[in-house]
């Protein structure tokens, strides 16, 4: 049998994300970006391309995330990186530079996705753009 | 393997003059492997007649593969004669749940007051298994179970033996949340089970108009079924889980629609019918 199908939890997570007006970023168990929704497109400044996946090492630096003090934030310190490596939820304020070169202040909450208690299948990040001056 | 359909109706049994050709019993499919092993896919009301047919030659072991525990897939179990024989070794495989065991969930229906006997008291030697994430073997066949889109824990099955494959993906709403015309196949529930199957038994409960009123109910429309079979590259498709409100003529019309949308003839697409048999 072919294994060329996403875990059902990821399919359901994508369905959920696709219906939300809140930006959502979805990665698989390897950390590969497999989907982001329309609301995320606005914040990230780029469109989702069906079938295009992005490795963790690439998406974690593509938007040049920095912390509140302006310090660069490595993958393992990003909320999504924590959800991926430690399998626990995390939250953090970040500043990113979108693909449209716009700097945005965002708050990110990420949590791991388990199909079973011992079966990690990916992680999801939900984020909000902070209004200017917030 | 030899396959015989004992029930292909969905939701509730629907006997009567309008459903004579395709049958009114709910889901139950017998699969005889080449070594004689008996697999049964679901235990809807069709299981009663199957059990009766087995009365003179009870197999020592039966493997019952339950896609899920909705009553139209379970109601025949209490009337399946082999479970009342202590000579029967019955292995029941079903979707796991994060909350309760398979036996406990079956007992929700199979216990008083809904049924006079508790499932733990049936004479057959019954063994319950959560369908594993990895393949397993029964006789000479390799069995795969994979979660599919339907309310509550639900799996589809794929049975492979001697280079042939049967995919049983009933109670399935592959188009929920995705556009089957644009999304990649890796995002489609059930794809891995159905891919290149010699025979795909798939949900086709609704017409396209009816589906619009039943989004999220866990079933497929004619358009979704046609598209799913095309994407999966199934060799043959059997439409299954017939709506209890659909008579035989309506099922014929739905089948014609699926053939039209998929662009195939009757040799590749048919309505599942009680008593239908085929070999793979």
ipTM over 0.90: no
Distance of CA B255 to the CA centre of its chain: 18
Spell out the per-residue pLDDT of chain B, length 280, in tens.
999 999 999 999 999 999 999 999 999 999 999 999 999 999 999 999 999 999 999 999 999 999 999 999 999 999 999 999 999 999 999 999 877 899 999 999 999 999 999 999 999 999 999 999 899 999 999 999 999 999 989 999 999 999 999 999 999 999 987 889 888 999 999 999 999 999 999 999 999 999 999 998 999 999 999 999 999 999 999 999 999 999 999 999 999 999 999 999 999 999 999 999 999 9
Nearest CA in chain A to B193: A1
Phi-psi region of A64 (alpha: psi -120 to 50; beta: other; left: phi over 0): left
Which residues of chain A are within 8 Å of residue B98 when distances are taken between CB atoms? Answer: 116-117
What are B212-245's pLDDT values in tens digits? 999 989 999 999 999 999 999 999 999 999 999 9
CATH class of A8-129: alpha beta
- Between residues 39 and 68 of chain B, which touch chain A (CB distance below 8 Å)? none
Which secondary structure element, helix H or strand E, spans residue B116, and what is its range? Answer: none
Tell me how far apart the alpha carbons of residues A35 and B20 are, in angstroms, rounded to a whole number.
Answer: 47
Q: Give the number of domains in chain B.
A: 1
CATH for B268: 3.60.15.10
What residue numbers bound the domain in which B87 lies? 2-279
Q: Tell me if A15 and B178 make a contact (CB, 8 A cut-off).
A: yes
CB B226 within 8 A of CB B258: yes
Q: Tell me if B186 and A15 make a contact (CB, 8 A cut-off).
A: no
Using a cut of 0.90, tell me whether the model's pTM lies above it. Answer: no
């Amino acid at each position: 049998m072919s294994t060329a199908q996403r875990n059902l939890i990821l399919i359901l997570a994508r369905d959920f994300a696709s219906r939300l007006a809140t930006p959502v970023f979805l990665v698989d168990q390897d950390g590969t970006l497999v989907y982001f929704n329309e609301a995320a497109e606005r914040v990230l400044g780029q469109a989702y391309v069906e079938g295009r996946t992005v490795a963790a090492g690439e998406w974690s630096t593509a938007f040049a995330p920095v912390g509140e003090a302006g310090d660069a934030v490595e993958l393992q310190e990003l909320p999504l990186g924590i959800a991926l490596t430690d399998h626990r939820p995390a939250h953090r304020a970040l500043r990113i530079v979108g693909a449209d070169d716009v700097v945005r202040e965002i708050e990110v909450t990420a949590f791991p996705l388990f199909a079973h208690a011992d079966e990690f299948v990916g992680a999801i990040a939900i984020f909000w753009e902070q209004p200017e001056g917030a | 393997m030899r396959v015989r359909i004992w029930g292909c109706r969905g939701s509730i049994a629907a006997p009567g003059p309008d459903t004579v050709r395709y049958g009114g019993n709910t889901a139950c499919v017998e699969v005889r492997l080449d070594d004689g092993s008996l697999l049964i896919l679901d235990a809807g009301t069709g299981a009663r007649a199957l059990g009766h047919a087995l009365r003179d030659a009870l197999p020592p072991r039966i493997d019952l593969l339950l896609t899920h525990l909705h009553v139209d897939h379970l109601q025949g179990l209490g009337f399946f004669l082999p479970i009342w024989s202590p000579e029967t070794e019955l292995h029941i495989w079903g979707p796991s749940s994060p909350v309760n065991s398979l036996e406990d969930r079956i007992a929700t229906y199979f216990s008083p007051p809904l049924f006079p006997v508790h499932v733990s008291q049936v004479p057959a030697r019954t063994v319950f298994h959560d369908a594993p994430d990895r393949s397993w073997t029964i006789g000479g066949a390799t069995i795969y179970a994979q979660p599919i889109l339907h309310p509550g824990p639900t799996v589809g099955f794929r049975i492979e033996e001697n280079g042939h494959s049967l995919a049983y993906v009933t109670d399935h709403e592959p188009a929920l949340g995705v556009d089957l015309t644009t999304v990649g196949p890796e995002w489609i529930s059930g794809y891995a089970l159905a891919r290149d199957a010699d025979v795909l038994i798939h949900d086709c409960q609704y017409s396209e108009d009816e589906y619009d009123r039943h989004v999220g109910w866990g079933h497929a429309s004619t358009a979704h079924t046609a598209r799913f079979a095309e994407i999966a590259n199934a060799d043959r498709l059997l439409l299954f889980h017939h709506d209890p409100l659909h008579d035989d003529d309506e099922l014929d019309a739905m089948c014609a629609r699926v053939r039209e949308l998929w662009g195939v003839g009757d040799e590749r697409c048919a309505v599942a019918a009680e008593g239908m048999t085929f070999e793979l």
